[in-house]
A and B are shown apart, each in its own frame.
Chain A
Amino acid sequence: MLAPILFGSRSGDPFADMRRLQAEMSRLFDDAGASSARRAFPPVNVWLGDSAVVVTAEMPGVPQDRIDLTVQDDTLTIRGERPAAADDGAAWHRRERTAGAFARTVALPFRVDPQKVEARFQDGVLAVEMQRPEEDHPRRIAITAG
C-alpha cells in the first residue's frame, strides 16, 4: 500500500523530487516482487461473522481427495498436493504454476469447535466455515442502575 508522499521544497533542483519519487517507486516494485515469491500457497482470505469465521483459499487444480483439513484450537491447517501439468521432461515453454505438496496453517481470530466445521470446494476455491464453541459466545452483560 502506498503511504502518502509529500513533495519537499520548491527551491533548488526541480527534478530532485521526480528522482526521489522514481527511487521510491522502484523500491516499492522490488519489495512487491520479493514478497510475491515468498507468498504462501494457497492464498487465503478470512471473513468474520458474529460467532463464526470463514477461511477461503484459492487452490485451483488440487484434486478434492488430495485436500487435508485439520482444525485445532484457533488454527486451521490446509494440506494438499497439486500435480504438475506435465513432467519435468516435457517440452516446456512457460512454467508459472507451482506444483507439489503444500501445507499452510492459518491463525483464526478465536478458538473454534472442531465438531462444527463445514468445508466446500468449488471451481478450485475452498471455503471453510467454523463456529465458535457455545461457551465462548460473547455474552451480554446487563448494567443495573446503582
Chain B
Amino acid sequence: MARNLTTTSSGRVERRHGDDPRPAPLTRPATDIFETDDDVVLVADMPGVGADDIEVTLERRVLTLRGRARPPAPEGYRQVYGEYRSGGFERAFTLSEDIDRDAIRASTTSGVLRLELPKAASARPKRIEVQAA
C-alpha cells in the first residue's frame, strides 16, 4: 500500500490520506464452512452480487470466489453516511484432497453464495456391519 508522503518546508514529514487514489475496495466475504456426511459446505456473504457477477474457479487445490457488486449509488442522491463500501469480493481457500472436484455445486440466493463440495467416496463415513458371531 503506497502512502503519500510530502516534506514540508520545515523538513517534517506529513502523511496525507486525502489524495491517495485507491482502486475499488476488495472485501473478503464472511464465510461459514461446515461438513455433512456427504459434503463440505461453504456459505459466503456477497451482498449486492447477482448470479451473473459471481466467479468460482478451482485451480489445482485452490478454490477462489470472486464477486462484483452492482454500483450502489441511487440516482440523484449523494452519500452522507457510510458503514460499508460496495466493491468486489474475493477469497481463496485450499481444498483437501478428499473433495470430488468434478462434482462441486454452486448456487446463490439473496446475495449468499453456497458451494457444496462432495467428499470423494473414500472420504465418506462408512458404515461397518457388525455380525453377531
Task: Please report A residues at the B interface, Cβ cutoff 8 Å.
Answer: 1-2, 4-7, 10, 39, 43-50, 52, 54, 56, 58-64, 84-86, 90-97, 109, 121-125, 127, 129
CB distance from B128 to the nearest CB of A (A): 20
Q: Once A and B bind, how many residue pairs between them come within 8 Å at the CB atom?
A: 131
In angstroms, how far is the closest chain A Cβ from the Cβ of B3?
9
The verdict on A90 contacting B35 (CB below 8 Å), with A7-B12, A46-B81 known, is yes
In this assembly, does B104 line the interface, its C-beta being within 8 Å of a C-beta of chain A?
Answer: no
Within 8 A of A (CB), among B23-59: 30-36, 40-41, 43, 45-50
Most buried by B among A1, A49, A97: A97
Interface size class of B (residues with CB under 8 A): 35 or more
A60 & B110 in contact (Cβ 8 Å cutoff): yes
Whether A93 touches B34, Cβ cut-off 8 Å, given contacts A6-B14, A63-B110, A85-B41, is yes
B112: contacting residue among A7, A91, A122, A124, CB under 8 A = A124
Q: Besides the contacts A47-B80, A123-B110, what 4 more A-B pairs have beta carbons closer than 8 Å?
A: A45-B81, A45-B84, A50-B76, A60-B112
Indicate whether A92 sits within 8 Å of B34 (C-beta atoms), given known contacts A60-B112, A97-B45: yes
Judge whether B15 is part of the interface by a CB distance below 8 angstroms: yes
CA distance A84 to B77 in the complex (A): 34
B22 at the interface (CB under 8 A from A): no
Question: Cα distance A60–B112 when bound, in Å?
Answer: 6
Q: Which 5 A-B pairs have the closest CB atoms?
A: A124-B111, A60-B111, A47-B77, A46-B81, A124-B47
